[in-house]
Structure 1
Amino acid sequence: MEKLLSKPKYQGKRVRLEKPELLAPAGNLEKLKFAVHYGADAVYIGGQKYGLRSNADNFTFEEMREGVEFAKKYGAKVFVATNIYAHNEDIEGIEEYLRNLYEAGISAIIAADPAIIEVAQRTVPLLEVHLSTQQSTINWQAVKFWKDEGLPRVVLGREASLEEIAEIKNNVEIEIEAFIHGAMCSSISGRCVLSNHFTDRDSNRGGCCQSCRWKYDLFEDAREQADNSTGAEPPAVLQPGITQLPLFEEDDHAFTMGSKDLCMLENIPDLIEVGIDSFKIEGRMKSIHYVATVVNVYRQAIDAYFEDPEHYELKSEWLDELNKAANRPLNTGFFYDTPDHEDHIYVPEEKAAPYDFAGLVLEYDEAEQTAVIQQRNYFKLGQEIEFFGPKGTFFKQTVTEMWDEEGQPLEAARHPLHRIRMKVDQPVAYFDMMRRKH
């Protein structure tokens, strides 16, 4: 993976030097467990209501309680996104919902609508309220307003620069959370209405259809062209009463409005030293492999910095790891300057990450040098695979021998969630992951 950044490092005032919280997405209970195992200090999830990811496998209250209990064993917290902009009918039932969140052990909600914030502060005052990025907060006076309203943390708009963050930290004593990795929205902090107009799905109530990622063609009015020319070809009639001519050639790429993804791995020292309290990774809809890989890389980078800030160096293998889970080209967002045409995607995206999550390690037998693997995706004898894990496991090998639960030899692992025993070249541990290249 080539270096992302050709921009100068942040040269402003360093605010403080404290280890930030690493905050990871969790679209379901299994992803929550992987995020925590792979190094997250906190996770944010969605419930059955009031969140902006209605298509995610959102949590029931029972799953929330299980997730909170699991996270506490590892010293981690669970936050719930209640970040819709509510219409009148959305408010009914919010008090009961918030009480259930508090009783489930949730540490904080992430909210944007002042109505939801007020109800939470009045109904469950011991449940922290963090201001959502949906409020597009990017200046210290707005941050101070929300602090005066009793909020302990503000999630800044993605449009905030490092200089602006430093000014906020210099003027307001409050926790600042900022996105440092993941998808960027082409609108301001996600407040978009394209989805409403195109599909009648409200982006600000959890229904975004990601219309900025669609492929678009460009047309001109053929009637005007015909009026202004002699001997022109008859205009193409695409629909009754409408005449349009495509401006793209058949082999041209369709146009999108999608932005490149954010990645600040190369700039961990700047993020820490400017005083950001919580490093947030986007991706509640992303795969388990994505969540585990990205969290694991940022965990290593943050810990390495605090082990020896003066001699900290970015490791090339961290960038290589991120590339194995990347969905789109990467950049540094608004942290150093305003994105321009080079920070958007104009050709078809390579949606799939280059590696599949092939299996989860359940057991390891040191004497036999075998591991019990819960199979997740197809793999077979002769394929090269990789193992990686939260405790530093990383190696490649070829699949040489494997057996089913009855001890019968297998040539291929075809059935998801089946337990398979296989030879491994090096020791592995519970919750290590096995992946294979496409």
Structure 2
Amino acid sequence: MSREKRKQAELLLPAGSLEVLKTAFDYGADAVYIGGEAFGLRANAKNFSPEEMAEGLCLAHERGKRVYVTANILAHNDDLNEAERYFQELAELRPDAIIVSDPALFMLAKRLCPGIELHVSTQANNTNYGTFLFWRELGASRVVTARELSLAEIREIRERIPAEMEIETFVHGAMCISYSGRCLLSSFMAGRDANHGECTHPCRWQYSVTEEKRPGESMPVFENERGTFLFNSKDLCMIDHIPELIESGIDSFKIEGRMKTALYAAVTARAYRRAIDDYLESPEKYAANLESYREEIGKCTYREYTTGFFFGKPNEEAQIYDSNTYVRNYTYLGKIAAVDAEGFARFEQKNKFSVGDRVERMCFDGSNELLTVLEIRNHEGLSVESAPHPKEALAVRFSAVPVVGELLRTETAK
């Protein structure tokens, strides 16, 4: 594959709000995928109103970026009339692409949204080149691979589909215990349909076992004193394998997490942006900086990491049996909204911090700088020793002046 083709690889980030959308672009994303108020698979995410979607599209296009809208539920009869109205609305908004999985919704979008790219979601179980060609014949410009594919399978798909057809693949984020997200556990156990975006994540719950001849007799399975988590997968992370991803011919590297924070978007976008750009500049530069990418991605909220199916089927090492909680090494403090004439940084505070604390500034160039909190002024303009209340508008003087748009974080106490 030519070097020119490899340079077209896109870094695609999730965005559950305008704040996260802006953050993803600030830290290096080429595109974001968002949900509207209907038909996406993250019903509990904040999602975008039509007005917010229009604003997000405007912000993106001013910067030469792209926005894709998810409409990837598996539809029932009652969904179709509303879907028709929704796609008419999207036709007016003109996102760069619509992501669908249901054939009926695909055909509705094709008819009602001419000129807008159609991407086929991983939810459609796209596991072979014949499926890619099927969607190509119907008018799809891009297909998202099923998470169950290996790199060898993806390379074969690339070889057997037209060069202009795009492959999008998840490279980072939460993994699902079910086949490409088609899970029935949530519907069965909580009455909330995962395929309509209402998953309660029962794969993260504790379970016991029942022996066939002892009905009703529940026996706990102990991994430790907290029980065991039989279906709880580690998170995917491919930061160590950027060369293999690029050489496989994947067009878009996708990060999972539309319900995650702006800090998650900043950390993942910046780490993968640096890794991709460094490799394209020089494989030796990528190798030399690999430990710094690992260190940075470890500052993200995550469950332990795995490479998923990329190098063969996962074994028991891909599961976490003793906990369902995230690793949180850093706490999000806020995003710089403005810097006044006195050098005070203004932002809405997300978590508690105090005068004298050491805070990390996430610079856009990929570096970090430790700042000391010298003074905090609350929303009334009064100097205070600490800021314990989330969402308070603060003015803070640091030992160095941060840049508008940068994020601040602090190391979580061990």
TM over 0.5: yes
Question: Unaligned regions of 5+ residues in structure 2, if any?
Answer: none
Which of structure 1's runs of 4+ aligned residues deviate more than 6 A? 12-15
Amino acid in structure 2 at the alignment position of 1:320 = E
1:190 matched residue in structure 2: 181
Mapped pair 1:282 → 2:271: no
- How far did residue 160 of structure 1 move? 1.2
1:232 matched residue in structure 2: none
Q: In terms of mean alpha carbon deviation, does 117-126 or 397-406 score higher?
A: 397-406
Separation in 2 of the partners of 1:242 and 1:120?
A: 49
Separation in 2 of the partners of 1:431 and 1:375?
A: 14
- How far did residue 56 of structure 1 move? 0.7
Separation in 1 of the partners of 2:243 and 2:132?
A: 24
Amino acid in structure 1 at the alignment position of 2:96 = S
Whether the 8 Å contact between 2:123 and 2:180 is mirrored in structure 1 is yes
Q: State the secondary structure of the residue aligned to 1:319.
A: helix
Q: In terms of mean alpha carbon deviation, does 301-310 or 206-215 score higher?
A: 301-310
Separation in 2 of the partners of 1:133 and 1:255?
A: 25
Question: Unaligned regions of 5+ residues in structure 1, if any?
Answer: 1-11, 225-240
Q: State the secondary structure of the residue aligned to 1:93.
A: helix
1:216 matched residue in structure 2: 207
1:238 matched residue in structure 2: none
- How far did residue 403 of structure 1 move? 3.0
- How far did residue 261 of structure 1 move? 0.5
Mapped pair 1:269 → 2:243: yes
Judged with a 3 Å threshold, the aligned counterparts in structure 2 of structure 1 residues 44 and 356 are, in CA distance, closer, same or farther, namely same
Separation in 2 of the partners of 1:429 and 1:78?
A: 25
Whether the 8 Å contact between 1:217 and 1:255 is mirrored in structure 2 is no
Mapped pair 1:89 → 2:63: no
- How far did residue 211 of structure 1 move? 0.8
CA deviation vs aligned residue, 1:269-295 (integer Å, no higher than 9, x gap): 111111100010000011121111111
Amino acid in structure 2 at the alignment position of 1:198 = M
Whether the 8 Å contact between 2:207 and 2:220 is mirrored in structure 1 is no
Q: In terms of mean alpha carbon deviation, does 247-256 or 20-29 score higher?
A: 247-256
Once the two structures are superposed, the pairs formed by residues 174-189 of structure 1 within 5 Å of their partners are: 174-189=165-180
1:424 matched residue in structure 2: 398
Separation in 1 of the partners of 2:235 and 2:218?
A: 34
Separation in 2 of the partners of 1:220 and 1:30?
A: 50
Whether the 8 Å contact between 1:81 and 1:110 is mirrored in structure 2 is yes
Judged with a 3 Å threshold, the aligned counterparts in structure 2 of structure 1 residues 249 and 74 are, in CA distance, closer, same or farther, namely closer
Whether the 8 Å contact between 1:370 and 1:421 is mirrored in structure 2 is yes
Once the two structures are superposed, the pairs formed by residues 157-306 of structure 1 within 5 Å of their partners are: 157-173=146-162, 174-220=165-211, 242-246=216-220, 248=222, 251=225, 253-306=227-280
Mapped pair 1:112 → 2:101: yes
Aligned equivalent of 1:37, options 26, 29, 44 = 26
Mapped pair 1:354 → 2:329: yes
Radius of gyration: which is bigger?
1
Separation in 1 of the partners of 2:371 and 2:98?
A: 43
Mapped pair 1:333 → 2:308: yes
Separation in 2 of the partners of 1:161 and 1:246?
A: 35
- How far did residue 242 of structure 1 move? 4.2
- How far did residue 155 of structure 1 move? 0.5
Alignment RMSD, CA only? 2.4
Q: State the secondary structure of the residue aligned to 1:117.
A: helix
Whether the 8 Å contact between 1:54 and 1:206 is mirrored in structure 2 is yes
1:79 matched residue in structure 2: 68
2:7 matched residue in structure 1: 18
Separation in 1 of the partners of 2:221 and 2:143?
A: 45
Separation in 2 of the partners of 1:298 and 1:57?
A: 25
- How far did residue 249 of structure 1 move? 8.9
1:312 matched residue in structure 2: 286
Give the structure-1-normalised TM-score.
Answer: 0.87
Amino acid in structure 1 at the alignment position of 2:273 = R
CA deviation vs aligned residue, 1:242-272 (integer Å, no higher than 9, x gap): 4455454983622330111000111111111
Give the structure-2-normalised TM-score.
Answer: 0.92
Whether the 8 Å contact between 1:182 and 1:281 is mirrored in structure 2 is yes
Whether the 8 Å contact between 2:98 and 2:116 is mirrored in structure 1 is yes
Judged with a 3 Å threshold, the aligned counterparts in structure 2 of structure 1 residues 315 and 363 are, in CA distance, closer, same or farther, namely farther
Percentage of identical aligned residues: 43
Separation in 2 of the partners of 1:190 and 1:422?
A: 44
Separation in 2 of the partners of 1:359 and 1:249?
A: 38
Q: State the secondary structure of the residue aligned to 2:374.
A: coil
- How far did residue 177 of structure 1 move? 0.2
Amino acid in structure 1 at the alignment position of 2:54 = R
